[in-house]
Amino acid sequence: MEINGKVAIVTGGSSGIGAASVRLLAARGMKVLVADINEEKGNAIAKEVGGAFAKVDVTSTDQIIESIDMARSMGEVWALVNSAGFGWAQRTIGKDGSYESAHSLDAFKRVIDLNLIGTFDFLRLTATAMSQNSPDADGQRGSIVNIASVAAFDGQIGQASYSASKGGVVGMTLPIARDLGAVGVRVNTVAPGLIDTPIYGEGERAEEFKAKLAKDVVFPHRLGKPEELASMVLECIANSYMNGQVIRVDGGIRLPPK
Domain extents in the chain:
7-249
| Amino acid identity for residue 182 in this structure | A
Q: Which distant-in-sequence residues (6+ apart) come within 8 Å of 142 by Cβ? A: 77, 78, 79, 80, 126, 127, 130, 133, 184, 185, 186
Give the pLDDT score at 33. Answer: 98
User: Does the annotation count 162 as an active-site position?
Assistant: yes
Average pLDDT over residues 241-256: 97
Say whether pLDDT at 202 is over 90: no
Catalytic residue of the set 99, 162, 200, 241: 162
Alpha-carbon gap, residue 25 to 1, rounded angstroms: 13
- Residue range 88-113, pLDDT digits in tens: 899 999 999 999 999 999 999 999 99
Alpha-carbon gap, residue 144 to 187, rounded angstroms: 5
Query: Which numeric CATH code is attached to 7-249?
Result: 3.40.50.720
* C-alpha separations of 59 from 63, 110, 121, 225 in Å: 8, 9, 8, 28
- Residue range 118-161, pLDDT digits in tens: 999 999 999 999 999 999 999 999 999 999 999 999 999 999 99
**pLDDT band (50, 70, 90) for residue 193:** very high
Residue 141 CB neighbours (<10 A)? 23
Give the pLDDT score at 198. Answer: 74
Alpha-carbon gap, residue 42 to 29, rounded angstroms: 19
